[in-house]
Structure formats: structure tokens, C-alpha cells
């Protein structure tokens, strides 16, 4: 989504950073789906009754493995899944190389454009300052997106554990408050991720503006 043109800067800010009602509902349900996916293994054990009670009386899965170990075990069970996984890795690697190559080509275009014949009002310092500003903004936005992407999964894992504990040790008021809080927190994390993606996308498009 591009930042829409508004005569009022407040409206422009609101349209970019504040979701409408439909969008908020979609992000809320997206958060709910992610919470279910993060807790899918524990919920499955809970539904099938394969829980054991710990010494404190809380319900815990009978067997526990880390998410990474579970993922590799799941992948190793099927040749098709292994093929799909490595195809995905190849696509990610190709996308990364394509991205770096496009950045290099864009820098070359900036150098070539700087040697064109320009009006008298043109100054090389102003030109390169605008070029560097757009590159710096894009670089910072991508770094921020990558850092937050890692934090997103870590924070969402914490929220998922809190929501699961509310189900395991269900007390009507406390559990409902904890579940709703987890869903709202997940909605905020998801929407903030979308905002960072928008910022990175718009900063990337600004680099090619006028080319």
C-alpha cells in the first residue's frame, strides 16, 4: 500500500499508520490464526488427551521438543517436503542475489545520471545528497524490518505461551483477560510488521522514482 496523497498531513499519517475497521478485524483474526499455529502441537495434545500433569498441577505435553527439532523431524518424514523446503531455500537465495544485483545496478544508474548535462540550477552536491538520503532510508528500513522480523517470532512465541497457559489453567476472568490481551498484543505485533514492510516498500520505490 502506498502512502496516499493528502492535502492534510494528519490525514496522510492516519491513512498510512492507522488501519480501518475492516483491516483491524483482519489483523485480529490473523493474530488468532498465528496463535493457533504457534500452539498447534500443544493444542493437538490437549485435544487428544495426551497431557501429563506436572508437579505444580499444570498441564504439559507428554513429550517436549524444541520448535526447530520438531520442524526437522517433520521435514525428514517426507521426500516431497524436503524437496519443497530446499526449493524454498533456493528461491530465498535467488531473491537475495537478485536484490543485491538490483541495488548495484541502481547505483550504476545514479553514477551515469550524475554525468548527464543538467540545467544551471543543478548542483552535484544536492544530487548526491538526495541519492544517498534515499539509499540510507531504504537501508535503515530493511535493517529495521529484518531485526523486527526476528523479534516478531520471539515475542509472538511468548504471547502464544501466555495464551496457552490461560487455557491450561483456566479461570474464567483471569483467563479471558489473558487471552484477549494476547490476541490484542498479537494484532499489534502483526500490524507493526505490516507497517515496516510498507515503509521498506515505499523507500524502495522512491529510489526508482523518476527513472
Residue-wise pLDDT tens digits, 110-136: 666 656 555 566 666 666 777 777 788
**Helix, strand, or coil (residue 126):** helix
Lowest mean pLDDT among 18-22, 76-80, 90-94, 117-121: 117-121
Reply yes or no on whether the pLDDT at 60 is more than 50. Answer: no
Report the pLDDT value the prediction gives residue 18, as an integer from 0 to 100. Answer: 78
Report the pLDDT value the prediction gives residue 67, as an integer from 0 to 100. Answer: 54
User: How many other C-beta atoms can be found within 10 angstroms of the C-beta atom of residue 101?
Assistant: 10
- Average pLDDT of the segment spanning 157-182: 85
Q: Where are the domains of the chain?
A: 1-38+128-211, 78-117
CA nearest to 202, candidates 124, 145, 147: 145
What share of the chain has pLDDT > 90, as a percent?
7
- CA-CA distances (angstroms) from residue 22 to 12, 19, 28? 19, 8, 10
Reply yes or no on whether the pLDDT at 64 is more than 50. Answer: no
How far does CA 95 lie from the centroid of its chain?
Answer: 17
User: How many other C-beta atoms can be found within 10 angstroms of the C-beta atom of residue 109?
Assistant: 14
How far, in Å, CA of 45 to CA of 113, rounded? 62
Report the pLDDT value the prediction gives residue 192, as an integer from 0 to 100. Answer: 92
Reply yes or no on whether the pLDDT at 50 is more than 70. Answer: no
pTM of the model: 0.60
How far, in Å, CA of 205 to CA of 147, rounded? 21
Strands (E) located in the chain: 51-53, 59-61
The answer to whether residues 6 and 12 touch, using CB atoms and an 8 Å cutoff, is yes
Any residues with CB less than 8 A from the CB of 208 and at least 6 apart, and which? 106
193 vs 79, residue with greater confidence: 193
Confidence of residue 147 (pLDDT cuts 50, 70, 90): very high
Helix (H) or strand (E) holding 179: helix 172-207
Amino acid at each position: 500500500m502506498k502512502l496516499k496523497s493528502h492535502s492534510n498531513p494528519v490525514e496522510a499519517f492516519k491513512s498510512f499508520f492507522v488501519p480501518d475497521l475492516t483491516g483491524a478485524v483482519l489483523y485480529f483474526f490473523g493474530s488468532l490464526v498465528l496463535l493457533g499455529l504457534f500452539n498447534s502441537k500443544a493444542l493437538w495434545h490437549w485435544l487428544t488427551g495426551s497431557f501429563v500433569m506436572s508437579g505444580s498441577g499444570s498441564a504439559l505435553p507428554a513429550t517436549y521438543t524444541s520448535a526447530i527439532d520438531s520442524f526437522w523431524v517433520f521435514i525428514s518424514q517426507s521426500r516431497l517436503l524436503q524437496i519443497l523446503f530446499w526449493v524454498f531455500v533456493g528461491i530465498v537465495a535467488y531473491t537475495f542475489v537478485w536484490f543485491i544485483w538490483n541495488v548495484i545496478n541502481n547505483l550504476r544508474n545514479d553514477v551515469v545520471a550524475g554525468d548527464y548535462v543538467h540545467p544551471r540550477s543543478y548542483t552535484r552536491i544536492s544530487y548526491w545528497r538526495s541519492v544517498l538520503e534515499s539509499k540510507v532510508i531504504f537501508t535503515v528500513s530493511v535493517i529495521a524490518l529484518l531485526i523486527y522480523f526476528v523479534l516478531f517470532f520471539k515475542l509472538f512465541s511468548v504471547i502464544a505461551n501466555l495464551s496457552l497457559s490461560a487455557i491450561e489453567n483456566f479461570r474464567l476472568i483471569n483467563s479471558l483477560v489473558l487471552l484477549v490481551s494476547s490476541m490484542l498484543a498479537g494484532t499489534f505485533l502483526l500490524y507493526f510488521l505490516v507497517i515496516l514492510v510498507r515503509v521498506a516498500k515505499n523507500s524502495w520505490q522512491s529510489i526508482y522514482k523518476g527513472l
